[in-house]
């Protein structure tokens, strides 16, 4: 779970398995930690759209794991 400014507020066991980060390493940090450099603008756009009350149905993207995959 993250705030509209991109700060992670909750991290569960499934996220830990998927991304390789423990909750203590992620909670309080910006979600940009998981975003590959070529997709940095995507997250800002999504957060802006959500902030305007727009509903985001489904979209496909990529995220980075703790080991860079």
- Which domains does the chain carry? 1-69 (3.30.450.20)
Residue 13 confidence (pLDDT) = 97
Please count the other Cβ atoms lying within 10 Å of the Cβ belonging to residue 19.
19
The DSSP bridge partners found for residue 7 are 30
Please count the other Cβ atoms lying within 10 Å of the Cβ belonging to residue 4.
9
Residue 19 clears pLDDT 90, i.e. is over it = yes
Average pLDDT value for residue range 40-49? 88
Structure token digits, residue 54:
């727009």
Instruction: Give the chain's mean pLDDT.
Output: 93
Please count the other Cβ atoms lying within 10 Å of the Cβ belonging to residue 39.
14
Q: What is the pLDDT of residues 20-36, one digit of tens each?
A: 999 999 999 999 999 99
Question: Is this prediction's pTM over 0.85?
Answer: no
Residue 44 confidence (pLDDT) = 86
């Amino acid at each position: 779970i993250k705030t509209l400014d991109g700060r992670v507020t909750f991290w569960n066991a499934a996220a830990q398995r998927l991304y390789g980060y423990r909750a203590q390493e992620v909670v309080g940090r910006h979600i940009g930690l998981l975003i590959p450099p070529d997709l940095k603008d995507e997250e800002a756009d999504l957060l802006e759209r959500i902030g305007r009350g727009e509903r985001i149905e489904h979209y496909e993207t990529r995220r980075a794991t703790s080991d860079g995959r």
